[in-house]
Structure 1
Amino acid sequence: MNMQNKHYKAVMDEVERLEKTGRYSLVKNFIQHGKTTVYAHCIDVALTACELAETHSFDVDYSAMITGALLHDYFLYDWHIPQKHFGLHGFTHPYTAANNAKDDYHIGPIEEDIIIHHMFPLTMYPPQSKEAWVVCWADKLCAARETVTNRLVFLKKAFQR
């Protein structure tokens, strides 16, 4: 069994738990990058974090890392629509996501660290745990992949005219 399949079950089991016990299914309604939903993005980040940790033999708490990765963008609003009370999304959404996660689930310090610090270095404070560093990098990789993929689809359509 390859590492992606091994972690896929753990990730999807946690998605199912989050959907049953909180508002996690709402993230399917929001777009993150291009046409990628927050739901798909968070699953991709969780799987990528697991792959990075395993590939580099990082000694991490996979359960906490998966939960934190799935909740890192649990802000529950459409950030593409300007809303004064939220401030600049890139800077404020980690705190909104952490507050929502604390309201809906019992999260520990690793999960909170992941959620609050995943936007480093845009936000000033770096991650404190190994798990948060791994998710921070996984998030950057996934965001870049999603953004580039969407741009390539646009360019392909433009050149087919």
Structure 2
Amino acid sequence: MKRYERDKEFMEHVGHLIDHPRFQRLDGIVQHQHSTRMEHSINVAYTSFRIARKLGWDSKSTARGGLLHDFFYYDWRVTKFNKGHAWVHPRIAVRNARKLVDLNKREEDIILKHMWGATIAPPRYKESYIVTMVDKYWAVREAARPLRRPLRKAYIKSIRYSRKILYSNH
């Protein structure tokens, strides 16, 4: 069982959405080279939820908005739009999310504004900023996944070498 699945409060807010067949379709779509869109969405939702909960902010809306922020089915690397993916996909995600659940204003803002930085309109709610930043964090982390093992090995090797030099001089 994964960590987010053991978090009862998180699962009360979004478990039914994660289990929905329309959301489950995201599991077959690559997101950031080394993750599925479903995996990415859950990562963003759970990390954002935990931050909002710790700060005493609206953790339910943060979890739901974070989960549904990339709720679209096309491959953004090959589909071209006149206004660009960063502008188009949040609107598609809101439309798809409304088919599953009634969104409050905060959840809608989280989904629509999560690409702030690549788009002009800033978020209206503090919870939207959480999801915006966490989304970028997970995008980088997921894209860099294959680099983590070689970098860790190189780091461990350098620590061992440093210790060898340090202790050989004494």
Q: Normalised by the shorter chain, which TM-score bucket?
A: 0.7 to 0.9
* Aligned sequence identity (%): 33
- Summarize the Cα distance change of 1:35–1:20 in structure 2 as closer, same or farther, 3 Å threshold: closer
Q: Match of 1:36, SS? A: coil
Higher gyration radius (CA): 2
Q: Which segment is superposed worse, 125-134 or 87-96? A: 87-96
Partner of 1:73: 70
CA displacement at 1:141 relative to structure 2? 0.9
| Paired residues of 1:48 and 1:138 also in contact (CA < 8 A) | yes
CA displacement at 1:142 relative to structure 2? 0.8
* Pairing 1:31-46 to 2, within 5 Å after superposition: 31-46=30-45
- Work out whether 1:116 is the aligned partner of 2:138: no
Q: Match of 1:32, SS? A: coil
| Paired residues of 1:22 and 1:105 also in contact (CA < 8 A) | no
- Summarize the Cα distance change of 1:148–1:38 in structure 2 as closer, same or farther, 3 Å threshold: same
- Summarize the Cα distance change of 1:96–1:103 in structure 2 as closer, same or farther, 3 Å threshold: same
Q: Point out where structure 2 has 5 or more consecutive residues left out of the alignment.
A: 152-170
Q: Match of 2:55, SS? A: coil
CA displacement at 1:137 relative to structure 2? 1.0
Q: TM-score, normalised by structure 1?
A: 0.79
- Work out whether 1:95 is the aligned partner of 2:94: no
Distance 1:142 1:91 in 2: 19
Q: Letter of the 2:118 partner, please give it.
A: L
Instruction: Note the aligned Cα RMSD (angstroms).
Output: 2.6
Partner of 1:137: 133
Q: Match of 1:127, SS? A: coil
Count of aligned pairs between the two proteins: 149
| Paired residues of 1:14 and 1:67 also in contact (CA < 8 A) | yes
Which structure has more RCO (C-alpha within 8 Å, separation ≥ 6)? 1
* Pairing 1:51-62 to 2, within 5 Å after superposition: 51-54=50-53, 57-62=54-59
Distance 1:147 1:138 in 2: 14
Q: Match of 2:31, SS? A: strand
Partner of 1:25: 24
